């Protein structure tokens, strides 16, 4: 048994030494040679302005994004990495990139901001703007924007502004990296002409549905997540004339128009059978995968699915189509938002962050980014650039955004409000016999009382 004790002791010492030594061994480990990743653990003396080489005072911008420079297969990642390198070359500011999972970006921002140690610029989902502002995690950029040339300001799409100004205090907090519009994607091998109205949707959907083969006509994201309201349910509500909230911060979704819209959506599964039941329980990825595999003929999704959908076999054969979302009697409005660049409140180098934002807002960068990501440039002048001449999908995105795009209804408690609607809607979606009006009334009352 002395052997065990000795073994244990040796192990203990070994672990201790490895742990202490480990950080410096990281210095040699660089997964990509291109964009510099942070070397070693930050030491107290070293401020974020000094570089690793020591003597020269270098400006370093700490940036958080979800791309992974090491992944060469990701078209968007490669493009984004090039953009960052171009920024470094043109401005002499070094970029220190932290890669985070895309759905943890905002959480990490809030937590590190509360703790006082944060990056200078982070990519955030613009729909989280309200929550982030409410939590006091962001630094308004109105002071920086004031330095912008008027010509440039006019060149930004109005939709960009709508998605980046807070309902709470009217201040601007983000610049969108690109804008995303939602539309009907369809598989031309299964659907010839896309539907334009609700009636056509049902009809064409039925033609494309064959349950014995596991094939369905129409899919969308309708599960328990506020995002489902943003992407798929709101077009139906708006098209029927309903609203989600009003300017006084109250939710208004318990209206007959909303009832009508929700009943139509529920019918798609229960009555007409053109949508699989899993639209109410699966996350977006599962529905998208089914679409990509050819099991669903039409889906509602955003322009951000561009590079993923283009990977499919039918897209490569030129058989992918896009159309405005069918509304009650014509094209339905769709929600416009995007990934945005935000400066945490406690960022140490907001000016460097602003330099990056300015760089990124340039038309040529917007074009380059948009080509890879599928989003719409925020600069209107980019829309008419020759780079998009032979890109019919991109051109459709621009048109769809301009003609049918709109911001979300005003909500200070954005996520909570949408969630309340989501819960009411699901109560009906999952139980076709439920009283929709009652559910909506209950949730609306609960929300209005609570907030």
Q: Find the binding residues for other proteins in span 21-80 (CB under 8 A).
A: 22-23, 26, 29, 31, 37-38, 40-44, 66, 68, 70-74
Q: Which helix (H) or strand (E) holds 65?
A: strand 60-65
**SS3 for 118?**
coil
Beta-carbon contacts of residue 434 (< 8 Å; ≥ 6 apart): 427, 428
- For residues 195 to 234, the per-residue mask of contacts with other proteins, x marking binding by CB under 8 A and - elsewhere, is ------------------xx-x------xxx---------
Identify which of residues 283 and 385 has a Cβ nearer to other proteins in the complex: 283
- Candidate list 92, 136, 256, 330; residue touching other proteins; CB under 8 A: 136
Q: 398 φ, ψ to 5°? A: -60, -45
Burial 190-223 (b: 16+ CB within 10 A, else e): bbeebbbbbeebbebbeebbeeeeebbbbbbbbb
Measured from the CB atom, the residue of 9 and 153 that comes closer to other proteins is: 9
Residue 32 CB, shortest distance to other proteins, in Å, is 9
- 257 vs 288, which CB is nearer to other proteins? 288
Of the two residues 327 and 425, which places its CB atom closer to other proteins in the complex? Answer: 425
Q: CB nearer to other proteins: give 166 or 239.
A: 166
Among residues 192, 203, 200, 222, which one has the least CA distance to residue 327? Answer: 200
Q: Which is nearer to other proteins, 65 or 238 (by Cβ)?
A: 65
Cα–Cα distances (Å) from 438 to 264, 312, 429, in that order, read 17, 43, 14
* Shortest distance (Å) from residue 292 CB to other proteins: 7
Task: Kindly identify the residues of this chain, within the stretch 284-303, that bind other proteins according to CB under 8 A.
Answer: 285-286, 288-290, 292-293, 295
Strand, helix or coil for residue 182: strand
- Which one, 281 or 363, has the nearer CB to other proteins? 281
Q: Shortest Cβ distance from residue 224 to other proteins (Å)?
A: 4
Q: Which of 51, 85, 91, 134 binds other proteins (CB under 8 A)?
A: 134
103 vs 120: CA distance, rounded Å: 19
Q: What is the DSSP letter of 231?
A: I
User: Are 404 and 332 within 8 A, CB to CB?
Assistant: yes
Q: Is 434 helix (H, G, I), strand (E, B) or coil?
A: coil
Q: Contact with other proteins (CB under 8 A): which of 430, 437, 441, 448?
A: 430
Q: Please, which residues bridge with residue 321 across strands?
A: 186
Single out the residue of 81, 112, 164, 187 in contact with other proteins (rule: CB under 8 A). Answer: 112
**What character string, x for contact with other proteins (CB under 8 A) and - otherwise, covers 300-329?**
----xx--x----x----------------
Residues 330 to 369: which contact other proteins by CB under 8 A? 345
Out of 102, 143, 193, 351, the only residue in the binding site for other proteins (CB under 8 A) is 102
* Cross-strand pairs, 138: 344
Residue 386 burial (CB count, 10 A): 7
CB of 214 or CB of 241, closer to other proteins: 214
Shorter beta-carbon distance to other proteins: residue 131 or 196: 131
**Considering beta carbons, is residue 243 or 281 the nearer one to other proteins?**
281
- Binding other proteins by CB under 8 A: which of 56, 151, 247, 450? 450
For other proteins, which is the closer residue by CB, 26 or 384? 26
Radius of gyration of the chain from its Cα atoms, rounded to whole angstroms: 25
Distance set, CA 423 to CA 112, 224, 276, 428 (Å) = 31, 7, 19, 9
The dihedral formed by the CA atoms of 360, 364, 366 and 370, expressed in degrees to the nearest 10: -140
Which segment (100-108, 193-201, 231-239, 379-387) binds other proteins by CB under 8 A?
100-108
| Contact pick of 240, 418, 426, 444 for other proteins (by CB under 8 A) | 426
DSSP structure class, residue 38 = P
Report if residue 166 touches other proteins, rule: CB under 8 A: yes
Cα-Cα-Cα-Cα dihedral of 438, 422, 398, 395, to 10°?
Answer: -110
Using CB under 8 A, count the residues that bind other proteins.
Answer: 92
Rounded CA-CA distance 314/190 in Å is 10
CA gap 163, 248 in Å, rounded: 19
Residue 420 CB, shortest distance to other proteins, in Å, is 10
Site residues for other proteins, window 394-423 (CB under 8 A)? Answer: 412, 415-416, 423
Residue 21 has a CB neighbour count (10 Å cut-off) of 9
Angle 408-409-414 (CA atoms, 0-180°, nearest 5)? 80
d(CA 242, CA 253): 7
Contact string 263-282 vs other proteins (x = CB under 8 A): -------------xxx-xxx
């Amino acid at each position: 048994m002395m052997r065990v004790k000795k073994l244990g002791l040796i192990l203990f010492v070994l672990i201790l030494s490895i742990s202490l030594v480990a950080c410096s061994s990281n210095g040699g480990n660089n997964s990509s040679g291109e964009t510099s990743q942070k070397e070693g653990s930050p030491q107290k003396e070293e401020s974020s302005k000094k570089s690793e080489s020591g003597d020269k005072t270098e400006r370093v911008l700490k940036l958080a994004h979800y791309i992974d420079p090491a992944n060469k297969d990701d078209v968007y990642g490669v493009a984004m990495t090039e953009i960052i390198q171009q920024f470094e070359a043109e401005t002499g500011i070094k970029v220190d990139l932290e890669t985070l999972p895309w759905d943890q970006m905002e959480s990490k921002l809030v937590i590190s901001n509360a703790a006082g140690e944060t990056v200078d610029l982070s990519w955030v989902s613009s729909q989280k703007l309200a929550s982030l502002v409410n939590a006091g995690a962001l630094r308004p950029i109105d002071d920086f924007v004031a330095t912008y040339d008027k010509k440039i300001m006019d060149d930004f799409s109005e939709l960009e502004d709508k998605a980046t100004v807070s309902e709470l205090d009217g201040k601007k907090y983000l610049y969108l990296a690109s804008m995303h519009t939602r539309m009907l994607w369809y598989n031309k091998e299964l659907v010839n002409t896309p539907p334009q109205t609700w009636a056509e949707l049902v009809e064409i959907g039925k033609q494309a549905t064959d349950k014995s083969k596991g094939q369905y006509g129409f899919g969308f994201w309708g599960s328990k997540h506020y995002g489902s309201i943003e992407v798929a349910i709101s077009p139906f509500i708006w098209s029927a004339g309903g609203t989600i909230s009003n300017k006084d911060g109250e939710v208004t979704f318990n209206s007959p128009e909303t009832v009508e819209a929700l009943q139509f959506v529920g019918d798609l599964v229960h009555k007409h059978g053109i949508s699989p039941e899993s639209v109410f329980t699966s996350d977006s990825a599962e529905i998208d995968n089914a679409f990509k595999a050819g099991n669903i003929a039409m889906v509602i999704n955003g322009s951000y699915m561009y590079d993923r959908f283009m990977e499919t076999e039918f897209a490569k054969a030129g058989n992918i189509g896009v159309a405005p979302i069918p509304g009650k009697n014509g094209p339905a409005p769709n929600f416009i938002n995007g990934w945005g660049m935000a400066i945490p409140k406690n960022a140490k180098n907001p000016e460097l962050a602003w330099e990056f934002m300015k760089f990124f807002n340039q038309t040529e960068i917007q074009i380059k980014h948009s080509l890879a990501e599928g989003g719409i440039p925020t600069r209107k002048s980019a829309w008419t650039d020759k780079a998009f001449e032979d890109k019919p999908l991109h051109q459709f995105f621009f048109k769809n955004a301009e003609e049918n795009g709109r911001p979300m209804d005003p909500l200070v408690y954005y996520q909570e409000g949408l969630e309340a609607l989501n819960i009411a809607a699901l109560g009906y979606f999952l139980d076709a016999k439920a009283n929709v009006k009652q559910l909506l009334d209950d949730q609306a009352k609960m929300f209005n009382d609570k907030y």
